[in-house]
């Protein structure tokens, strides 16, 4: 059942990305270009995402445990450290330059394979570098 729910959730997420045109880097870059030809349509995508997230928190606060797990996995850290700021900055720079974040970047493997391969390759490389650095620092 867990695998089916995970698959359906991913399918719904992908459908949402496609319908909202988040898979089109030109739309994303148009949203980020506030001093040029600004495209405000992604405000509605973000508003929808925040609304669903808020509903999720309401459900979490009313239930002692999730339906398909033993406990809730919710971040507990509240501090802002250099790794958080650096990671957020790198994510934002990459998103602004390419128009892709991880979800739409994976869809680019099918609808724009050349860009998709570069993006996913950079995503994997960056994740591996983080893992290597984090593992080295914790040893």
Span 108-133, pLDDT tens digits? 888 888 888 998 999 899 889 888 88
Q: In whole angstroms, what is the distance from residue 25 CA to residue 17 CA?
A: 11
Task: Kindly report the pTM of this predicted structure.
Answer: 0.70
Span 50-92, pLDDT tens digits? 999 999 989 999 999 988 889 998 888 899 999 899 989 988 8
Contacts of 16 (CB under 8 A, 6+ apart): 22, 45, 48
Backbone conformation region of residue 99, classed left if phi is above 0, alpha if psi is from -120 to 50, else beta: left
Q: In whole angstroms, what is the distance from residue 105 CA to residue 89 CA?
A: 18
Q: What is the dihedral of CA 116, 45, 18, 102, to 10 degrees?
A: 20
Per-residue model confidence (pLDDT) at position 28 = 86
Q: 22 and 29 in contact (C-beta within 8 Å)?
A: no
């Amino acid at each position: 059942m867990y695998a089916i729910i995970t698959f359906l959730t991913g399918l719904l997420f992908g459908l949402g990305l496609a319908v909202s045109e988040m898979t089109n880097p030109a739309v994303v870059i148009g949203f980020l270009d506030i001093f040029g030809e600004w495209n405000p349509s992604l405000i509605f995508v973000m508003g929808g995402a925040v609304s669903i997230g808020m509903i999720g928190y309401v459900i979490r606060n009313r239930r002692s445990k999730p339906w398909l797990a033993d406990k809730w996995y919710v971040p507990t850290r509240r501090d802002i450290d250099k790794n958080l700021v650096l990671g957020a900055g790198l994510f934002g720079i990459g998103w602004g330059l390419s128009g892709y974040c991880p979800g739409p970047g994976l869809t680019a493997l099918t609808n724009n394979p050349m860009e998709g391969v570069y993006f996913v390759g950079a995503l994997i490389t960056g994740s591996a570098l983080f893992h290597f650095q984090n593992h080295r620092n914790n040893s």
